[in-house]
Structure 1
Amino acid sequence: MMHLDRDVCDRARLARDPRFDGLFFIGVKSTGIYCRPICPARPPRPENIVYFPTAAAAAAAGMRPCLRCRPETAPGTPAWNGTSASVSRAMHLIRQGALNDGSVDQLADRLGLSSRHLRRLFRKHIGATPNVIAGHQRLLFAKKLVMETDMPITQVALASGYGSLRRFNAAFRKGVGRTPSRMRSSRSQTRPVAASGVRCILDLSYRPPYDWDRMLAFFQRRAIPGVEHVSDGTYRRTVRLGSGRGEIAVRHAAKGFGLTLEVCLTDDRDLMFTVERVKRMFDLDANPQAIHSTLCHDPLLGRLIRQTPGLRLPGSWDPFETAVRAVIGQQISIKGAVTQMGRLVRQAGKAYDTVEDVRLTHFFPEAAELADMDWTAIGMPGARRKTLRLLAEKVDSGALSLEGTAGLPAFIDAMTQIYGIGEWTANYIAMRALDEPDAFPASDLGILKALQEGPDRPTGKQASARAENWRPWRAYACMYLWHSLEEAG
């Protein structure tokens, strides 16, 4: 990705193809501006164009973001994917604000690396240090808030990870070339903001195709009573981040390729994390072109992709919540699992009062709350209650991390050490909670049934062997195979 094919970039730029939005950026040497491939401005002279794999690389070269196409609104670039797994995991943490209040040393500790080695990996694979990447992330997020909300400038600075208004103003003028107030005055519309806390509406882009209806249906079938609700084309849920509280609502944008996120939080410092979590939850940074080009080599998957080209990998808001859901859902129907999740929430979840949606009544319990819960009040087999209690205790004590910073094989090994959790459950958790694109529950009966082409159903070992050609997108193959059963039914 660090060495872009100029001919491919030229064709995508001239066609303004939205499928390439965010995969590279266009720098114009004569103006010092960098743009998205879909920028509506008049194309520059070819000799003045230089291509960059990331917005951060363009900024590091002294370029400023275009005020017309707004690079901060492009889908997240997966430029680091396929390089170093450690870099990929570090990038996800940085985008969630890991370096806003923490150091590179602390980030490296979370990844099990030395800070020196992490910096070396970033120089090799990204061409910039972690702090440079984090600084550019903060700047573009701040620009997005200035342009899309009416949050006070001081609140924008805090929500973007800046420690002071003075630092924020200096970084904004240097990186954008305008003051935040002047930038805001150029807008054509405004959006409401609450007097306290954070209440704002943001647009989040994706690369087409994207099957929003099927993504929404996936969440609707699994919505936890009191915590989640889907109606009128909108997904809503309660959220809890440390001491912060609130709720989110996600719907498809009225026009263009994107989703609209409505956020209501008590702590503005949680906003950046919330936005990144929602983007991962709805898989907005996926590159369908790369996924389809690999999976289409399999005749069955090729046919399924042509029939439904926009399937994505549904993520989750809370990794622990998804792990609990996966354990409860073992060997029972989706409807049965939803019923039991509702009972669990009513038993251990904290109450939530809101005037926005009366159907949102609780927060999902944290690990400490489930570890201390009276499990006899939940109607389920004793072995499953034991597994859930062990899971909650390990997460609460820190013995088990659900961040996925150690990589997929290490995560699967750690999960399967817990009584009652096998490889199927561990891989399902990795798919949804960790957004691992290569997780693959090979023994899943639905997958084996979808792969059956004759009288004999394949074994898990045979499915694994066939899936080797689907790497690193085996989780997406799962989604297409599962969806084929729904269509057949």
Structure 2
Amino acid sequence: MLSQAMPSPEICDRARAAKDARFDGLFFTAVRSTRIYCRPVCPAPTPKRQNITYYPSAAAATAAGYRPCLRCRPELSPGANQRGGEDAVQRALALIADGALQEGSIETLAAQVGIGSRQLRRVFLHTAGATPIAVHTTRRLLLAKQLLTETSLPVTQVALAAGFNSLRRFNAAFVEGCGMAPTAIRRQRIETPAGMLSLRLGYRPPLDFAAMLAFLGKRAIPGIERIGPHSYERVIGPAQASTWIRVTADLVKPELRLEISETDPRAIPDIVRRVRRIFDLDADLGAVHAAFADDPLLAQAVRKRPGLRVPGGWDGFEVAVRAVLGQQVSVAGATTLARRLVDAYGCERTPAREGLDRLFPTPESLLDAPLETIGLPKSRAASLRSLAAATIAGRVHFGAGQRLQEFVDALVALPGIGPWTAHHVAMRALSHPDAFPAGDLVLQQVLGGEKRLSERDTEARSQSWRPWRAYAVLQLWHLSGDRPKEKR
């Protein structure tokens, strides 16, 4: 949980006094008299200012010896690690969220972001107020605290979900980080039905959940996803051990509700991370909108739809395949092709839920597949096979922490994949906030008015929106009153 830059003490004071949810996760309030740290929205009585210290992350407060509040529950605060840039801290945070320090070392993490391990520690201490290991450990313990509070999972399974293979080490780490034993937290547990996990996922308002569902619903793959006006459902995991998830919006609190059927507890962090990415729950729209304030067109779009975010995808390879299928056809046409692809090359699930019974094809299953038989042109079938081969070989991957241009270059090196497709995949598979398909015809039309802009001029116009151009894309698509009808 790390912010773009922690707000000034004066702003923190005002946000804390107003219990302003827009600042939730952007800073934490530590109270010296109680040794507890809280979210800005904490309902507890406001402490005296002289007893307060502000910290940029939960990890920083924990490192300073504070324990998380039981009332406002810092584990529910949205992350704030989407800072827009591509600096070492931003990329390392994404890798940590992806589990890089679960088995890997600081040295490996530093090498992945291109700096030395000592320098990585220094920049983390300067920006996050804590080391990378402390950030990783705090993330694990706060997830454990949430599972202890909101689910009936046994403590041993909570320890596994939090990445601890030893219950003794888990208990010791939990007492050190949270100030009490896991069993004491368990007594705070909310009653939930057995066999089903239900977790709260916080975000900073506003969130246009209906618009997210509408976007995702038009691109839903039959047999794998089911998206209605109020919920998102999907089956995940291996074909023989499927897990069902459902996401709905809380009607009162700035939270989504994530339901998970029985699953391996070690899969829970990844499920939570992917759902947060799909609905862009860690976005700081305040920073995004500030970057658009001087552009009349985008300022108008934000006023109309302040809660628009960038919808992500569950799996990077799936998003990339869907993008290639959508080249030169309508959204509906691409969905038809996706259904044929899944029927022909996706495995059946057992047991299956009604209408959710398929597994998306793997790269291996498409490597030598005669994809022309589902109605694809030869060139597009060849592009999909090349994508599958590059994914298997590791020349293209969809992991966290990548630089945008490096990812785009890797994709456009494949036959039949151009910058539009590459940036579209970066938007949805990597959740890269600065991805920008400048060749998009709708963007060119909206920006140019009666005279459509060229791709070069569209790219030039977008420079002042960096590093949030992906959000501009969504705003402009909606402002157009239409969606791009090709290659989506």
Partner of 1:368: 364
- Counterpart Cα distance in 2 of 1:153 and 1:201: 16
Structure 1 residue 201, shift from structure 2 partner: 0.8
Q: 1:110 to 1:247 in 2, by over 3 A?
A: farther
Q: Secondary structure at the match of 1:279?
A: helix
| Contact kept in structure 1, 2:207 and 2:309, CA below 8 Å | yes
- Verify: 1:253 aligned to 2:253, yes or no: no
Q: Secondary structure at the match of 1:247?
A: strand
Q: Secondary structure at the match of 1:201?
A: strand
Aligned pairs for 1:14-413 (under 5 A) are 14-78=17-81, 81=83, 85-111=87-113, 113-187=115-189, 189-194=190-195, 199-231=196-228, 233-240=230-237, 245-354=242-351, 357-403=353-399, 405-413=401-409
Aligned pairs for 1:402-481 (under 5 A) are 402-403=398-399, 405-453=401-449, 455-481=450-476
Moved more, 16-25 or 252-261: 252-261
Alignment size in residue pairs: 481
The CA deviation string for residues 414-471 of structure 1, in whole angstroms up to 9 with x for no partner, is 1111111111111101011000000100110011111123x31111111111111111
Which TM-score applies when normalising by structure 2?
0.94
- Counterpart Cα distance in 2 of 1:314 and 1:322: 11
| Contact kept in structure 2, 1:83 and 1:125, CA below 8 Å | no
| Contact kept in structure 1, 2:438 and 2:455, CA below 8 Å | yes
- Counterpart Cα distance in 1 of 2:209 and 2:421: 26
Structure 1 residue 180, shift from structure 2 partner: 1.4
| Contact kept in structure 2, 1:97 and 1:161, CA below 8 Å | no
Structure 1 residue 110, shift from structure 2 partner: 4.2
- Verify: 1:485 aligned to 2:487, yes or no: no
Structure 1 residue 112, shift from structure 2 partner: 5.1
| Contact kept in structure 2, 1:101 and 1:161, CA below 8 Å | no
- Counterpart Cα distance in 2 of 1:282 and 1:3: 24
| Contact kept in structure 2, 1:112 and 1:406, CA below 8 Å | no
Q: 1:343 to 1:38 in 2, by over 3 A?
A: same
Q: Secondary structure at the match of 2:53?
A: strand
Q: 1:439 to 1:244 in 2, by over 3 A?
A: farther
Instruction: Supply the AA of the counterpart residue of 1:470.
Output: W
- Counterpart Cα distance in 1 of 2:270 and 2:98: 4
Structure 1 residue 234, shift from structure 2 partner: 1.1
RMSD: 2.0
Q: Secondary structure at the match of 1:51?
A: strand
Q: Secondary structure at the match of 2:356?
A: coil
Structure 1 residue 404, shift from structure 2 partner: 5.0
The CA deviation string for residues 4-41 of structure 1, in whole angstroms up to 9 with x for no partner, is 41111111110111111111110111111110000000
* Residue ranges of structure 2 left out of the alignment (5+ in a row): none
Structure 1 residue 120, shift from structure 2 partner: 4.2
- Counterpart Cα distance in 1 of 2:240 and 2:118: 33
- Counterpart Cα distance in 2 of 1:116 and 1:49: 31
| Contact kept in structure 2, 1:241 and 1:270, CA below 8 Å | no
Q: Secondary structure at the match of 1:361?
A: strand
The CA deviation string for residues 146-178 of structure 1, in whole angstroms up to 9 with x for no partner, is 011011110000011112111111111222222
Q: Secondary structure at the match of 1:352?
A: strand
- Counterpart Cα distance in 2 of 1:111 and 1:227: 34
The CA deviation string for residues 228-273 of structure 1, in whole angstroms up to 9 with x for no partner, is 1113511111223799642211111242111101112532111111
Q: 1:425 to 1:256 in 2, by over 3 A?
A: same
- Counterpart Cα distance in 2 of 1:407 and 1:24: 27
Report sequence identity in percent: 47
Instruction: Supply the AA of the counterpart residue of 2:154.
Output: P
Q: 1:427 to 1:315 in 2, by over 3 A?
A: same
Structure 1 residue 107, shift from structure 2 partner: 3.1
Instruction: Supply the AA of the counterpart residue of 1:468.
Output: Q
Which TM-score applies when normalising by structure 1?
0.94
- Counterpart Cα distance in 2 of 1:406 and 1:72: 26
Q: Which has the higher contact order (CA 8 A, sep 6+)?
A: 2
The CA deviation string for residues 351-372 of structure 1, in whole angstroms up to 9 with x for no partner, is 11345x3110101112122214
| Contact kept in structure 1, 2:420 and 2:437, CA below 8 Å | yes
- Counterpart Cα distance in 2 of 1:84 and 1:407: 6
| Contact kept in structure 1, 2:32 and 2:53, CA below 8 Å | yes
The CA deviation string for residues 287-336 of structure 1, in whole angstroms up to 9 with x for no partner, is 11111111121101101110111101001110110001111101100000
- Counterpart Cα distance in 1 of 2:84 and 2:372: 46
- Counterpart Cα distance in 1 of 2:116 and 2:415: 33
* Residue ranges of structure 1 left out of the alignment (5+ in a row): none
Q: 1:216 to 1:167 in 2, by over 3 A?
A: same
Q: Secondary structure at the match of 2:222?
A: coil
Moved more, 238-247 or 387-396: 238-247
Q: Secondary structure at the match of 2:358?
A: coil
Instruction: Supply the AA of the counterpart residue of 2:167.
Output: L
Structure 1 residue 127, shift from structure 2 partner: 3.3
Q: 1:227 to 1:161 in 2, by over 3 A?
A: same
